[in-house]
Amino acid sequence: MNYYVTTPIYYVNAKPHLGHAYTTIVNDVLARFHRLDGYDSYFLTGTDEHGDKIVRAAQAEGRTPREYVDQISSLFKAAWPGLAISNDDFIRTTEERHKTVVSRFMDLVNRNGDIYFGEYGGHYCFGCERFYTEKELVDGLCPDHQVKPEYVSEKNYFFRMGNYQDWLIDYVKANPDFIRPERYKNEVLGFLKDPLEDLCISRPKSRLTWGIDIPFDDDFVTYVWFDALINYISALGWPDGELYHKYWPVAQHTIAKDILKPHAIYWPTMLKSAGLPIYRHLNVHGYWQIGFSKMSKSVGNVVEALTMADKYGTDAFRYFLAREMTFGLDSEFSEDRLVERFDSDLANDLGNLWQRSLAMIKKFSGGLIPTGPEAEGQPDEPEWRGRAEDLISAWRLAFDSVNPRGAMTAVWEYVGLLNKTIDSEAPWALARDPEKAPRLAAVLARLAEGLALVSALFWPVMPATAEAMWTRLGLDPAAMSTDPKTIREKLASGRPPTVGEAFFPRIDAEGKAAGKAAGQGQAPGGTKAPGGTKAAEGAQAAEGGPGDGGGEPVGIDEFRRLDLRVAKVEAAERVPKSEKLIKLSLSLGQSQRTVVAGIGKRYRPEELVGRTVVIVANLAPAKLMGLKSQGMVLAATDPDGRLELLSPGDAAPGSKVS
Ligand code: MSP
């Protein structure tokens, strides 16, 4: 089984940003998913280097086009390893291998009678490098660049795209998932309701020399889109290349909605005219926006993708993008939202599952994953295995239909199920009853197997974390598998596991993660914090629950592990660049400590000095905005979300709260 996926080749007039990163990451995720699922997968990206736009960008920097494209293209090439992009090739349209194929392709279309020479006058937008019809302009302006196009009239070569209109309509209708999601298929059928004009595919050299020569006329170069689209086959060595024969029949392109028309209309008609098979799928996603406006270089709000990855880690950044955007729709990017997801999904759900499971394997099973017959002989084992199978099917279905968000949601539902299993099975209670030893072994085995399975399933999105988890589980990440039976066999013959450092130490433990724990009635006791120390998740539920205080019951032993203390606020100051965080210097009578609390939207620092508060004193330290926080302040949140610090009145600092 083969698989071939491509990104758009990016214009080199801008540095790589979040939008480019998203498409490239999604393609990488798809390529990795297929690799993991047994496909022979090929993944192409590259840069689009010809045309007016590039010449103007080079001039603006006082460089020759050649120098300029070399520099920016290398920025793209260098950016991808930092985002764990595993492309098999990187094509540049200024490479000889591409130019030769473009000439050959054009010759073929010409010989098939689909190119003619004619005069054309129209509204040309230099930003888009295309002519606009009157109807397409919005108030006389280019809809993308909001500038008035110039009226350009010249002799040029044209591709008889209109010849293929009926064929294309039939093709799109006969292959309902050719363009997906469906909204974009409908959009294309909408475009095709109007007659397709022929496509101007050349530029006179008198106006532009930075392009690929037209093989049958020395005075013209190729129009940049005609040149660019061909990259998808030139990189495979069309017409004779082995890669072409192997991968072109299964090609999929992933793009954003901005370049739907060239991909859904120009490209299939070009392929049809040249007598080549049509690609299989066009996967179209929406736009990342910032503050609900379109992100663009000119607006100046381009998020530096690589800075985000540096700040929060490549895997967390990839996870956020994959999990946050519904493929096909626009999404709002915000760093706050990223931090929230980081804390809730990665630090809380996954991180706690990891720490708790491994700590219990260490404590109750001598550090070895139980794999004996006890684990097999449980009456609910078939049902448990059925759930894993359901998860794998949901994951596969989601990725097959280009829905990374759905795939990750399915995996996180399973993470939730594993966390719940810990709470409901209470391995610490099972461990006290020798008769329950088989059940304890089965539960611990399920946790280890579950961790190996979920990490394999999120490998396409977070490869480094998944590989590290496999290694720490004593497994070989090079032989990663999503088959539960194979996982069980590997665990049976693997090395003893190691807990290690937390994978995702919380960023904003008090504010954001606590909010989620409370809001979802989650966070029952018994969670483990980074480093294996007992964490006060139970106290977080107390901090926020506007609900009925529900969630699962907490045993008294669990509750007693929390060390709740009275503390006096001696000093308070806002954490720079954070609306929410306040740094508190607390006295516990005999000792002092610093706690960074997410209460800055409710309290001013000066109101806090002199107050007594209740803190969870044995919470594992966390770093928040670079500051070490040693504990958590307890607060109540009413149904309107208003926060009130718990006040122990006159109790002396250091008093134990029970
Ligand atoms: N060179 C052409 C593509 C030729 S493909 C044969 C081009 N280049 S581009 O640099 O402008 O890249 C456009 C693509 O970048 C979009 O289709 C999308 O993949 C990505 N994105 C750029 N900005 C984006 C957002 N704000 N949000 C999501 N992706 C966007 O068009």
Q: Is residue 125 predicted with pLDDT exceeding 90?
A: no
Q: What are the tokens at 596?
A: 């960074």
Tell me if 326 is assigned to some domain: no
CA of 21 to the centre of ligand 1 (A): 10
Return the ligand 1 atom nearest residue 48 CA. 1
Tell me if 460 is assigned to some domain: yes
Is 297 a catalytic site residue?
A: yes
Last residue of a domain, one of 469, 491, 513: 491
228 in ligand 1 pocket by Cβ < 6 Å?
yes
pLDDT at 520: 27
CA of 49 to the centre of ligand 1 (A): 14
- Judgement on whether residues 484 and 539 belong to the same structural domain of the protein: no
Burial class (CB in 10 A: 0-12, 13-18, 19+), 166: exposed
Q: Indicate which residue's Cα is closest to atom 15 of ligand 1.
A: 20
- Judgement on whether residues 275 and 343 belong to the same structural domain of the protein: no
- Judgement on whether residues 486 and 562 belong to the same structural domain of the protein: no
Q: What are the tokens at 577?
A: 């660049």
- Judgement on whether residues 236 and 351 belong to the same structural domain of the protein: no
Instruction: Report the distance separating Cα 31 and Cα 458, nearest Å.
Output: 13
Q: Is residue 374 predicted with pLDDT exceeding 90?
A: no
- Judgement on whether residues 391 and 446 belong to the same structural domain of the protein: yes
Tell me if 519 is assigned to some domain: no
Is 142 a catalytic site residue?
A: yes
Note the pLDDT tens digit of each residue in 637-658.
876 667 889 989 888 999 989 8
Q: Is residue 541 predicted with pLDDT exceeding 90?
A: no
Q: Which of 25, 48, 229 to mutate to test the pocket of ligand 1 (most atoms within 8 A of CB)?
A: 48
Instruction: Report the distance separating Cα 583 and Cα 553, nearest Å.
Output: 33
Active-site hit among 145, 246, 362, 363: 145
Residue type, position 41, single letter: S
Q: Is residue 509 predicted with pLDDT exceeding 50?
A: no
Whole-model pTM? 0.78
Tell me if 130 is assigned to some domain: yes
The backbone torsions φ and ψ at residue 238, rounded to the nearest 5 degrees and listed phi first, read -55, 145
What's the per-residue H, E or C state across 312-376? HCHHHHHHHHHHHCCCCCCEECCHHHHHHHHHHHHHHHHHHHHHHHHHHHHHHCCCCCCCCHHHH
Q: What's the mean per-residue pLDDT of the chain? A: 89
Instruction: Report the distance separating Cα 573 and Cα 582, nearest Å.
Output: 6
Tell me if 651 is assigned to some domain: yes
Q: Which of 15, 17, 18, 23 to mutate to test the pocket of ligand 1 (most atoms within 8 A of CB)?
A: 23
105 in ligand 1 pocket by Cβ < 6 Å?
no
Bigger pLDDT: 378 vs 536: 378
Active-site hit among 34, 99, 128, 272: 128
Return the ligand 1 atom nearest residue 47 CA. 1
Active-site hit among 50, 142, 285, 512: 142
The answer to whether 192 and 171 have CB atoms below 8 angstroms apart is no
287 in ligand 1 pocket by Cβ < 6 Å?
yes
Return the ligand 1 atom nearest residue 7 CA. 19
Q: Is residue 102 predicted with pLDDT exceeding 90?
A: yes
pLDDT at 594: 92
- Judgement on whether residues 483 and 561 belong to the same structural domain of the protein: no
CA of 94 to the centre of ligand 1 (A): 19
Work out the pLDDT band at 547, boundaries 50, 70, 90. Answer: very low
pLDDT at 531: 30
- Judgement on whether residues 376 and 415 belong to the same structural domain of the protein: yes
pLDDT at 304: 74
The answer to whether 28 and 41 have CB atoms below 8 angstroms apart is no
48 in ligand 1 pocket by Cβ < 6 Å?
yes
The answer to whether 147 and 141 have CB atoms below 8 angstroms apart is yes
CA of 9 to the centre of ligand 1 (A): 8
The answer to whether 558 and 525 have CB atoms below 8 angstroms apart is yes
Active-site hit among 53, 125, 263, 516: 125
Note the pLDDT tens digit of each residue in 185-223.
999 999 999 999 999 999 999 989 999 999 999 999 999
The backbone torsions φ and ψ at residue 470, rounded to the nearest 5 degrees and listed phi first, read -60, -45
Note the pLDDT tens digit of each residue in 426-441.
999 999 999 999 999 9
Is 128 a catalytic site residue?
A: yes
255 in ligand 1 pocket by Cβ < 6 Å?
yes
- Judgement on whether residues 487 and 534 belong to the same structural domain of the protein: no
pLDDT at 525: 29
- Judgement on whether residues 270 and 341 belong to the same structural domain of the protein: no
Least confident of 129-133, 237-241, 297-301, 315-319: 297-301
Q: Is 129 left (phi over 0), alpha (psi -120 to 50) or beta?
A: left
288 in ligand 1 pocket by Cβ < 6 Å?
yes
Tell me if 327 is assigned to some domain: no
Paired residues of 636 in beta bridges: 644
Q: How far is CA 389 from CA 382, 392, 411, 455, in A?
A: 10, 5, 12, 15
Q: Is residue 36 predicted with pLDDT exceeding 60?
A: yes
- Judgement on whether residues 604 and 647 belong to the same structural domain of the protein: yes
- Judgement on whether residues 16 and 162 belong to the same structural domain of the protein: yes
- Taking alpha carbons only, the member of 127, 147, 157, 143 closest to residue 223 is 157
Return the ligand 1 atom nearest residue 10 CA. 10
Domain that holds residue 555: 527-657
Instruction: Report the distance separating Cα 262 and Cα 638, nearest Å.
Output: 53
Is 294 a catalytic site residue?
A: yes
Note the pLDDT tens digit of each residue in 578-635.
888 999 999 998 888 999 998 988 899 988 999 999 999 988 777 788 788 889 999 9
Instruction: Report the distance separating Cα 149 and Cα 137, nearest Å.
Output: 9
Tell me if 520 is assigned to some domain: no
Least confident of 120-124, 225-229, 269-273, 596-600: 120-124
Return the ligand 1 atom nearest residue 254 CA. 19
- Percentage of residues in the chain with pLDDT exceeding 70? 90
Element holding 156 (H helix, E strand): strand 150-159
CATH number at residue 266: 3.40.50.620
CATH number at residue 428: 1.10.730.10
Is 20 a catalytic site residue?
A: yes
- Judgement on whether residues 80 and 186 belong to the same structural domain of the protein: yes
If one counts the domains in the chain, the total is 3
Note the pLDDT tens digit of each residue in 140-190.
999 888 899 999 888 999 999 999 999 999 999 999 999 999 999 999 999
The answer to whether 560 and 581 have CB atoms below 8 angstroms apart is no
Q: Is residue 300 predicted with pLDDT exceeding 70?
A: no
